[in-house]
Structure 1
Amino acid sequence: MTALLEAAPVRDPRIRVMVVDDSAIVRGLIVQTLERDPALRVVARAAQGEAALAELDRTAVDVVVLDIEMPVMDGLTALPLILKLQPEVKVIMASTLTRRNARISLQALQAGAADYVPKPETGGLVGAEEFARELTAKVKALGRSGGLPTPPTPALAVPLVRPAPLSPPIRPQVVAIGGSTGAPPALMSLFADLKGELEQAVLLTQHMPPTFTAMLAEQLERTGGRPAAEARDGEPILPGRIYVAPGGWHMTVGLSGRVPVIRLNQETPEHFCRPSVDPMLRSAAAVYGPGVLAVILTGMGADGAEGCRVVAEAGGRFVVQDEATSVVWGMPGAAAKTGLAEAVLPLPQIAPWVRRACA
């Protein structure tokens, strides 16, 4: 007698998404955008926070795209309740590019949101290919990162390849930091840990749109206790200051006579990004040589890996955030795979490492 074995149900491999937006038109367009990708499946939609919570109570979701401004319950209020209901879910905040919404989006990142995406102006959503590309890429990256448990990555020292004979590293003149998805909260933690203990100038390229970068600089100044602002073209790079690449502009380093200065340009985006980390690192290595210390934080994609290689070849050093503490181990993972990173570290260990290297 042949036994009939019933096959266990196979989980749909597509990433499960919920879309929460009070505008039926915008909600529908976001759903259409996401469902064009065969790796994604919209399993729920809601018009405001309370309805989203009710849906989440009966539907398993990998990623939530959450509007900020909604009636009854707005996105910032709903966020902690969503994370309480489904702690593993990744939340992407969606907002228009206003100063108020930029501030709220940064608050949401501090409260547990994984990322944000700026919505085009009303009426411009149809055909906004950049919005569609960015949203789809972020949903896929975050959905995959939450799909399987990530084993802890031990802090490991990776020897930096230098020409023989091995020479000791010089004291850095500038610290250059790059980040993307998940990096704003990591930056707050890093600068809080470095407060009052870093004399070098800091160059920061974070993948962010205009308005958001100005708000980020304000938060970093409060957190880090040192002057921070969006960089201005031609200004000298001075010790003790944080220079943030403005949204929409590549920030590079140039010389005015013998003085290092900020140079901004709107050349072609790299890795679909402007600002991009690679131009900052390449130019910093060209001006400061072995005096560059680079840090690559959590982020999707591979921006910064090529720039880190240039930094190492110029005699500089770089460290990357480890996989276990990264929201997405794209950028730091790509930089680590060059084999030139001096260390791969959990986020809490990066500040002490930088402090020792800069002392």
Structure 2
Amino acid sequence: MVQAAPSTQPTRPAAAGPGAATSAIQVVMVDDSAVIRGLVKRWIDETDGLEIAGSCSNGKQAIDVAARVKPHVMILDIEMPEMDGLEALPGILKASPGTKVIMASTLTLRNADISLKALSLGATDYVPKPDSARGIAGSNEFRRELLVKVRALGTTARRAMHGSAPLPTQRAAASAAPAAAVAPAAQQIALRKPSTVPPRILAIGSSTGGPQALFDVFEKTGASLKAVPVVITQHMPPSFTKILAEKLGKLSGLPAKEGEHGERLQAGHIYVAPGDYHMRLKKDGPSVAIALDQEPPVHFCRPAVDPMFESVAAIFGAASLGVVLTGMGHDGRDGGRIIADAGGTIYAQDEATSVVWGMPGACAQAGICSGVYPLEKICSTITRQFGGR
């Protein structure tokens, strides 16, 4: 990486506190590359509603800036001199508990493992970045994903810190980062009756905040899932999904792996959609098999939840149980409607326990859910539905 002299000076008066003089989401960038810090600063400067509140080049400086600035969002590199991102994370969260930390790492198995460990230690999300400054500068997808996550998580953090002051109106320059769907809480939610048919499959969709939620779900429900197959689509890049599957296997005590094309589903096994592939199900004689493809992204995502849910509904109908966990956007809503219309059951995580109530909120407001529950109750409901097998 390109080295630069340390920069820890916040770009606004530290004594003012976050959001005191502006309604913008306050962002701190932590990376030992001056080129990358400059690129991200420019992107944020071009996006209404976002503002760089400081930048620094290593983890020690990040802790100091977090204590003085208390930003809404911190983008934290993993590999840095003096103190890396994983070492700095606990100090950052202690100095500014309300800050949402996004880990930034290149796509390697080692960094995927570190990123998932960071999520278990309190980081909120991650974003995979190209392995060079030139690659980052030319990656529209990295820019889009980063800005979408900063906006969504910053909105959540700002609401918790200061209430829900509206963001300034977006202008055309911000079009690379469309606002993530965050469903309003104060709407009446219409519920459907759950299916009376015992479910023969569990299908789960999740995104931002999903890994932590999945860890919790499978640690608590694994023993009850030995009689049905489990399929999962978590918005994740390659490398990350392999590590996620391994961790879910350890927590649940069940065999867990990335799904493979043509592989037949087995009861008591967990199949995770591999990064960069949609995972659908198809009939294979008397069995059900996995079908992977690289058709265009759905809702900017590949893998996406909707294609998986649609295929589950086509095969299992009223015996389908779908669960939509925390995540931005509305992936899972359309496929969830197909499951519900086929007589199956959809449960969604509630707003209070979601990192971002986009995906589950969209399902709840679409009127396709049989329950909108805290994560703990989702776990107990899954256990109750499958535990008697």
TM-score over 0.5 for the pair: yes
Matched, 1:130 2:157: no
Q: How do 1:283-322 and structure 2 match up within 5 A?
A: 283-322=311-350
The one-letter code of the counterpart of 2:267 is: P
The one-letter code of the counterpart of 1:159 is: L
Deviation per residue, 1:204-226 (Å, 9 max, x gap): 00000000000000000000100
Within the candidate set 46, 49, 53, 2:56 is matched to: 46
User: How far 1:259 sits from its partner (Å)?
Assistant: 1.4
Deviation per residue, 1:234-262 (Å, 9 max, x gap): 11111000000000000001011231110
Distance 1:46 1:337, change over 3 A: same
What TM-score results when the alignment is normalised by the length of structure 1?
0.92
* Other-structure match for 1:84: 94
Question: Which sits farther off after the overlay, 99-108 or 50-59?
Answer: 50-59
Within the candidate set 159, 169, 181, 2:191 is matched to: 159
Matched, 1:174 2:201: yes
User: How far 1:60 sits from its partner (Å)?
Assistant: 2.9
Matched, 1:148 2:159: yes
SS at match of 1:205: strand
* Distance in 2 of aligned mates of 1:352 and 1:111: 24
The one-letter code of the counterpart of 2:158 is: G
SS at match of 1:215: helix
* Distance in 1 of aligned mates of 2:343 and 2:147: 38
Q: How do 1:340-355 and structure 2 match up within 5 A?
A: 340-355=368-383
User: How far 1:306 sits from its partner (Å)?
Assistant: 0.6
* Distance in 1 of aligned mates of 2:20 and 2:280: 50
* Distance in 2 of aligned mates of 1:108 and 1:54: 19
The one-letter code of the counterpart of 1:336 is: A
User: How far 1:117 sits from its partner (Å)?
Assistant: 0.2
User: How far 1:356 sits from its partner (Å)?
Assistant: 1.7
* Distance in 1 of aligned mates of 2:339 and 2:363: 11
* Distance in 2 of aligned mates of 1:217 and 1:211: 10
- 1:161/1:340 contact within 8 Å kept: no
* Distance in 2 of aligned mates of 1:125 and 1:157: 42
- 2:72/2:98 contact within 8 Å kept: yes
The one-letter code of the counterpart of 2:28 is: M
* Other-structure match for 2:229: 201
State percent identity of aligned pairs. Answer: 48
Structure 1 unaligned spans of 5+: 1-8, 163-167
Matched, 1:221 2:249: yes
* Distance in 2 of aligned mates of 1:232 and 1:62: 39
- 2:67/2:92 contact within 8 Å kept: no
The one-letter code of the counterpart of 1:193 is: K
Deviation per residue, 1:155-213 (Å, 9 max, x gap): x9953168xxxxx6111110000000001011011001012111211000000000000
User: How far 1:313 sits from its partner (Å)?
Assistant: 0.4
- 1:19/1:65 contact within 8 Å kept: yes
* Other-structure match for 1:3: none
Count of residues in correspondence between the two structures: 344
Deviation per residue, 1:122-151 (Å, 9 max, x gap): 131112100000000000000001112389
Over the aligned positions, Cα root-mean-square deviation in angstroms equals: 1.8
- 1:158/1:343 contact within 8 Å kept: no
* Distance in 1 of aligned mates of 2:75 and 2:238: 21
SS at match of 2:224: coil
Within the candidate set 243, 258, 278, 1:230 is matched to: 258
Structure 2 unaligned spans of 5+: 1-18, 165-184
- 1:95/1:118 contact within 8 Å kept: yes
Matched, 1:331 2:341: no
User: How far 1:34 sits from its partner (Å)?
Assistant: 2.1
Q: How do 1:110-125 and structure 2 match up within 5 A?
A: 110-122=120-132, 123-125=134-136
Q: Return structure 1 stretches of 4+ with deviation > 3 angstroms.
A: 156-159
